[in-house]
Amino acid sequence: MCVILAEVIVGVNKYKLDNEAPVDVLMIDNNEVRKSQVAKLKEIRATRDSKKAEECLDIITTIAKTGQGNVLEAAVNAARARCTVGEISYAMEKVNA
């Protein structure tokens, strides 16, 4: 004789409400989100002063190499020059690469 014990899951198979309100679920299309983000990045890179952005990123790399200077201040200046977080991070990562 085989006895199967059911696991109690409150709200699913025990102590269920008689009238449950429907739950709105937000459906996100990850492909559309990615396309939108890539388009925004392209627009930012196309409309910024590329020379200024590169100068800011070079300063971050120099600070990371030498340890001389304020990397946070340089990162803020780079962000003001419309550099992306990825570009700022990569400018620091280049030192260890």
User: pLDDT 10s digit of each residue in the chain, 97 long?
Assistant: 565 667 888 877 788 888 888 889 999 999 999 999 999 999 999 999 999 999 999 999 999 999 999 999 999 999 999 999 999 999 999 988 6
Record the pTM: 0.67
* Residue 57 maps to a domain: yes
The Cα–Cα gap between 72 and 79 comes to: 10
How many domains does the chain fold into? Answer: 1
H helix runs in 1-97, sequence order: 30-47, 50-66, 71-80, 85-93
Taking every pair of Cα atoms in the chain, the longest distance, rounded to a whole number of angstroms, is: 80
* Residue 54 maps to a domain: yes
* Residue 72 maps to a domain: yes
Range of 86's domain? 48-97
* Residue 90 maps to a domain: yes
- So what's the pLDDT on residue 58? 97
* Residue 83 maps to a domain: yes
The Cα–Cα gap between 60 and 69 comes to: 9
Give the pair of three-digit tokens for residue 45: 């890179």
